[in-house]
Amino acid sequence: MTAVNYSFERLTVDFGERDHIRNTNAQLKKTQSISGCRVLELGSGAGANLSILQPENEVLGVEGLADAAAHATSLGVNTLVANLDNALPLDSAQYDWVLCLDVLEHLMAPDTALREAHRLLKPGGKLLINVPNHFTLTGRLRMLLGAGIHWNRFFPDSHDWNNPHIRFFTPGSIRELLASTGFRIISDLSPIAPAVPMSHQMRQLHLHGLINWLAKRNPGLFCGGFFLLTERV
């Protein structure tokens, strides 16, 4: 089994940086009427995302970190310990929703995880994914100045040779991966996390509309990640 290149401690540190994901899950629960559904999360961590959906739905997490899975289960979010680079011991076509949020970039075989998501979803089931964008305008400029692909220092204690992010995506490549594994994009939610240079100063000048326009116009340059709602086809 491939070792999980993450830790429960890192999940705890990162919790505050994932507010936009949890908020979006809560909004989708309302707008998509997620109730009475079977929901599976691949890479469920400590169960924060599933806990939002759990009261009205039957949820199951799949997590590679045994301590994170144990913590989630202790909080009432049932979690299976398994390696996402392999086939999962779950029956096909059993789930209405699959979540895969900030996970694919850690996997040796992200296509395997998405094919498993396709297998586990019912026909017409929904997949919600998010992957980080290493190639924002700021990132490209910093790379040109020698910062390297991990310019954003998501993991300040890691070197380039043992950084947990091992797969990198552009808008085109994530769309190609989704299409090749049997998914159709319904909605691009990426602009909820804009990555526009000097955005703090722009907000002080009440230029929120310009920030949103740039993020929608060119997610590859101006979004911090690619957050996509898709459907199994």
Q: What is the pLDDT of residues 39-77, one digit of tens each?
A: 999 999 999 999 999 999 999 999 999 999 999 999 999
pLDDT at 5 over 80: no
- Expressed in percent and rounded to 5, the helix, strand and coil fractions of the chain are 45, 20, 35
**pLDDT category of residue 10 using cuts at 50, 70 and 90:** confident
**Domain interval for residue 123:** 8-194+224-232
Answer whether residue 200 is part of any domain.
no
Task: Flag whether 175 is in a domain.
Answer: yes
Q: Sorting pLDDT into bands at 50, 70 and 90, what band is 8?
A: confident
Q: Judge whether 111 lies within some domain.
A: yes
In a domain, 2, yes or no: no
When pLDDT is averaged across residues 143-156 and rounded to a whole number, the result is 91
User: Would you mind telling me the total number of residues written for the chain in this entry?
Assistant: 233
User: What's the CATH code of the domain at 121?
Assistant: 3.40.50.150
pLDDT at res. 1: 39
Q: What count of other Cβ atoms lies within 10 Å of the Cβ of residue 220?
A: 16
120 contacts 40 by C-beta, under 8 angstroms = yes
pLDDT at 157 over 90: no
What is the enclosing helix (H) or strand (E) of 114?
helix 110-120
Tell me, yes or no, whether 97 lies in a domain. Answer: yes
Write out the H or E segment, with its range, that includes residue 226: strand 225-232
| End-to-end C-alpha distance for the chain, whole angstroms | 30
Give the chain's domain count.
1
| In-domain check, residue 20 | yes
Is residue 210, in this structure, part of any structural domain at all?
no
In a domain, 189, yes or no: yes
